[in-house]
């Protein structure tokens, strides 16, 4: 009879974990959750020079890295290119170039050299979602991480970005960052 209690307990624990991940976590979000809010059109908001500041949290929840970044984005119809240059507190610099394609219904295809295959996402209301497999540099171990990237448009035009990185289903890092248009003074001073 003890096996029955063990099996029932395991089933209850599994169900609780599944319910939490499905309905009460970062991963539970869906683009439709934001559909009735202010429109976030990536062709308008992610366009021109952009500055970003953020932090990366490791698996223990502690900050493992801080960064500033400069993005430059341009669009031709529904096809955009965004270059990114990250400056980390360690002194490391990282570059990435995205090719973004927007199609009907706000669906997004996102490609970059360090993305395995193509990322997929959607813009809906005041939010944009992207899911992709990010291959870390060889210096960072070369791991491929499942990435869920959410961007939320704030009333003042700033974008709040939260990303979650997983390996074998386990969360290994979170990123929180802001993105905003680079001001004329920052551009003149060649900031970032």
CA pair distance 120, 129, nearest whole angstrom: 8
Segment 143-161 shows an average pLDDT of 93
Answer whether residue 67 shows pLDDT above 90.
yes
**Burial of 55 per CB tally in 10 Å (0-12, 13-18, 19+):** middle
Determine the Cα angle at 12 with ends 8 and 17, to 5°: 150
CA pair distance 173, 178, nearest whole angstrom: 17
pLDDT of residue 17: 57
Tell me the pLDDT tens digit for each residue of 121-135.
999 888 999 999 999
Q: Which domains does the chain have, with CATH numbers?
A: 30-188 (2.40.128.20)
pTM: 0.78
Segment 40-63 shows an average pLDDT of 93
**Element (DSSP H or E) covering residue 177:** strand 170-181
Residue in this structure with the two tokens 């570059």, named with its chain if needed:
95
């Amino acid at each position: 009879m003890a096996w029955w209690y063990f099996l029932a307990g395991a089933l209850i624990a599994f169900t609780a974990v599944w319910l939490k991940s499905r309905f009460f976590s970062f991963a539970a979000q869906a683009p439709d959750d934001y559909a009735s809010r202010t429109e976030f059109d990536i062709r308008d908001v992610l366009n021109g020079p952009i500055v970003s500041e953020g932090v990366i949290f490791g698996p223990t929840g502690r900050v493992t890295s801080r960064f500033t970044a400069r993005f430059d984005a341009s669009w031709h119809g529904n096809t955009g290119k965004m270059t990114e240059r990250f400056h980390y507190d360690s002194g490391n610099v990282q570059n990435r170039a995205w090719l973004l394609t927007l199609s009907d219904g706000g669906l997004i295809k996102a490609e970059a050299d360090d993305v395995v295959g193509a990322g997929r996402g959607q813009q809906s209301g005041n939010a944009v979602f992207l899911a992709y497999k990010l291959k870390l540099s060889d210096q960072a171990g070369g791991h491929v991480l499942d990435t869920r990237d959410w961007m939320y448009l704030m009333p003042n035009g700033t974008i709040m970005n939260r990303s979650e990185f997983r390996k074998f289903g386990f969360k290994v890092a979170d990123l929180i960052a802001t993105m905003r248009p680079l001001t004329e003074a920052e551009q003149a001073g060649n900031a970032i």
